[in-house]
Chain A
Amino acid sequence: MATKLPPTDAVVVGLGWAGAIIANELVDAGLKVVGVERGPWRDTAKDFNIASVTDELRYSQRQELMLRTAQNTITMRNNPSQTALPMRKWGSFHPGNGTGGAGNHWAGITFRFQPEEFRLRSHLEERYGADSIPEELSLQDWGTDWSEMEPFYDAFEKIAGTSGRAGNLVSGKQAGGNPFEGARSSDYPTPPLRQPYSPTLFAETAREMGYQPFPVPSSLVSETYTNPLGVTMGPCTFCGFCTNYGCANYSKASAITTVLPALIRKNNFEARTHCEVLRVTTDSDGRRATGIVYVDSAGRQWEQPAEIVVIAAFTFENVRLMLTSNIGEAYDPTTRRGTTGRNYAYQTANSVQLFFDDKNFNPFIGAGAVGMGIDEFNNDNFDHSGLGFFGGGSTRVTPIGATPIQARPTPPGTPRWGSRWKRATVDNYASTMSIGCEASNYSSPNNYLSLDPTYRDRLGRPLLRITFDFTDNDLRMAQYVTEKTAEIARRMNPREIVASPRIGPWDGRPYQSSHVVGGFVMGADPGTSSVNKYLQVWDVPNLFVVGASAFPQNPGYNPTGTVGALAFKAADGIINHYLRSPGEMIST
């Protein structure tokens, strides 16, 4: 039995990007807030140090910062005819744990979604015809629009110190930035990072071919920056131990380097760490959340009553908590009824490797989010008439730092061991680069999240089950965008290229991206969405579920700029609308 604790105004579950931002906004509005986090309290000074953070075995191979699968994992299958099996070691994605969440070991690429994205179904129907969207896709509008989102993107970038060059300010287009981005109310808080060799070479070639390359927007700050909360960050040093590592320089934006140092010092906030939330409690008719129950590291259960409950536990756990708490109706792919678990989507990651003889890229110089990209083949930036698919990808060169356990490119046909392997490894280490194309993934009625009938976590609770495969739409798109990427690669004149368009079935083993989205999506229609545009749960007005779980589908961009913006949007909904008439759905 859970011991009941004194009530609080708001409880926030998960202290990653989304949870920390909302908690801070609510505290500033005068609410008393408790944050509950299943992992440890992390602080740069005690957790990440220049002298020891450069440890590929510990952080990248043994996945030190990630959630341990012993604590919680998912099961996976490609389609309902298969039996889902547990992911015993993280492969395809790398979920986080502890304050800062996955934001400690993320890469930092910080795009805004484009204006058309928020009304994707309407946009495609208007441009290509009312029945142009194939049956296999369950694309939908977000129930919000660019004018509502833009101020919150701006707020997130200012918290994170995001570096980049504007391509489209409300005052007009800017040379050197991304011409396809939505009109921005202000430029990036810090200027773009300086570029290593491989992105520079890519950008030169892309420009020659008539494309418009731009510095990839990055929440690795390029110069000393103090954010609106008074927290100061230092410039990125291109150390190359970035993705999968914590930053020892206070350069990579994460909740622990931008929000929590200010928030934890505020009177109305307290964080409980190593406390895993088990469920949301509701009143008898399920129309009001009364609080949450969590288990501490000693195995004791506690009930924390709250007037407002915010769940910001990352896509997987957001959806699992809703399923185990019976919030909304579980999605059934045969009847297509129910919304909890519906429209799960991923990212379609493609790449082209380039092997040169005469180049030295010094590939150990890098950062999770330094690089140059083009958007000519992303989303609906090109005409899809007659192509047989929708969507596209962000084409870019982002050298993350070639650490040698994992980054040892060799051409096809090279043995995996022995003297010939060694020779090829040495010959290609410094002279190989790759161009990625991080492409959209469009939701489908067959891809969804549910509770696993067999596998349970250490507490005996069902694991979350992923049923997912790439759709024909996405596989055709992958071929197309990878061929466009390969054209650029060939123009760069390497000895050899290896093009790797994503092919099916979805494979849980190799890392692809942690951009798992949907399952508790936002929209204007309660029949096809779980939350409204303020991330407020339909029919449970004091419950807010925030994160990429709200994306109805995934464009060809990384998610976190939008996760941060949605966190600000939810906080705005609570403070400026909900609190004026508590207990009701926000209607504006």
Chain B
Amino acid sequence: MSKKNDTAKPSGLTRRELLGSSAALLIGASSPVQALTVRGTPEWKPLSNNAVPPVDTDAGWQFFTDDEAATVEAIVERLIPADDLSMSGKDAGCAVFIDRQLAGAYGGSERLYMHGPFQDGTPEQGDQSALTPQQRYRLGLGALNDHCRNEHGATFAELSAEQRDQLLTQLEGEEIQLDDIDTLVFFEIVLQNTMEGFFADPLYGGNRDMVSWKMLGFPGARYDYRDYVERHNEDLGFEPVSIGGRPDWQA
């Protein structure tokens, strides 16, 4: 394959940059986006668009303050408690997962339509909050701790498991009104992100040791069940595997 050749016929390589690469209109750009003219045999590097973002679980909090992180850990530990089925959401890394998500494109709603006017609609019209996930956590965690200090004289993380469960139940049922943020806007994003962290590929910082997949019997990042599709109503006994492999591959 030749390198660059604007006039080449299809046998050659005729991808050329049509236009500049100003960032003016890039949409949630995490990789450079450019208008291109494609002709002939398209140029690509295998997997070039397929890189997976590595999450460094040891790097310290990227978005949360230490206090916020302690509160989030105290929440995810109750949303997913340790029991005979699995370790807790905290031990599974859900707080680390949420921290890394908030530090990335998701946290700033980069890919979403965020133009006003922002106004309340019917429930069917969906989430109309002007707050990004980062703001939802910052405001919500602060307001939750304010509430706990007023009512219980302690931060959320300092409360007992029973007290925390009760508070979470009250948030879910909107029996508590938080200052600065709609209670449900806060509760729902925390619940959603906690479950994402527990069940997503461990690559993103949660689901440590594929704990949730083992618990469910979900085999994870496998891609070929042709030998199994007609083995009905049978325990197939798969050990899960993640995009990053399995611990026993690293021996």
Contacts and interface: CB of A to CB of B under 8 A. Distances in A.
A580 to B, nearest CB: 29
* Interface residues on chain A, size class: 35 or more
Nearest to A40: B33
Contacts of B81: 418-419, 422
A416 interface: yes
Interface string A263-275: 0111101111111
Interface string B82-126: 010110000000000000000000100011111101010111111
A492 interface: no
Contacts of B106: 62
Given A54-B223, A89-B126, A249-B223, A422 B86 contact: yes
Interface stretch (B65-73, B135-143, B149-157, B213-221): B213-221
Contacts of A266: 10
Contact of B49 (A47, A265, A402): A47
Contacts of A269: 39
Contacts of B172: 416
Nearest to A459: B25
A582 interface: no
B38 A423 contact: no
A196 B232 CA distance: 7
A91 interface: yes
A73 B109 CA distance: 14
B111 A195 contact: no
Interface stretch (B56-64, B174-182, B196-204): B196-204
Contacts of B234: 360, 362
B218 A364 contact: yes
A69 B27 CA distance: 9
B126 A91 contact: yes
Contacts of A405: 195-196, 199-200
B35 A275 contact: yes
B50 A85 contact: no
Contacts of B127: 88-89
A269 B111 CA distance: 32
B213 A404 contact: yes
Interface string A531-569: 000000000000000000000000000000000000000
Interface in B204-250: 204, 212-213, 215-226, 228-236, 243
Contacts of B215: 422, 426
Interface string A47-67: 111111111111001110000
B111 A298 contact: no
A319 interface: no
B36 A273 contact: yes
A506 B212 contact: no
B189 to A, nearest CB: 12
A121 interface: no
Nearest to B36: A273
A506 B126 CA distance: 11
B140 to A, nearest CB: 16
B39 A298 contact: no
A46 B10 CA distance: 20
B125 A195 contact: no
Given A51-B221, A85-B121, A237-B223, 5 more contacts: A77-B125, A85-B128, A265-B10, A296-B35, A417-B80
30 contacts: A42-B49, A43-B42, A47-B49, A47-B50, A49-B47, A53-B223, A55-B52, A68-B111, A70-B110, A70-B111, A70-B112, A83-B119, A85-B121, A85-B125, A86-B115, A88-B114, A196-B229, A238-B228, A239-B224, A267-B9, A296-B35, A297-B35, A298-B25, A364-B219, A404-B216, A405-B199, A416-B191, A419-B81, A426-B215, A505-B124
Interface of B: 9-10, 18-22, 24-28, 33-42, 44-52, 78-81, 83, 85-86, 106, 110-115, 117, 119, 121-128, 165, 168, 172, 191, 194-196, 199-201, 203-204, 212-213, 215-226, 228-236, 243
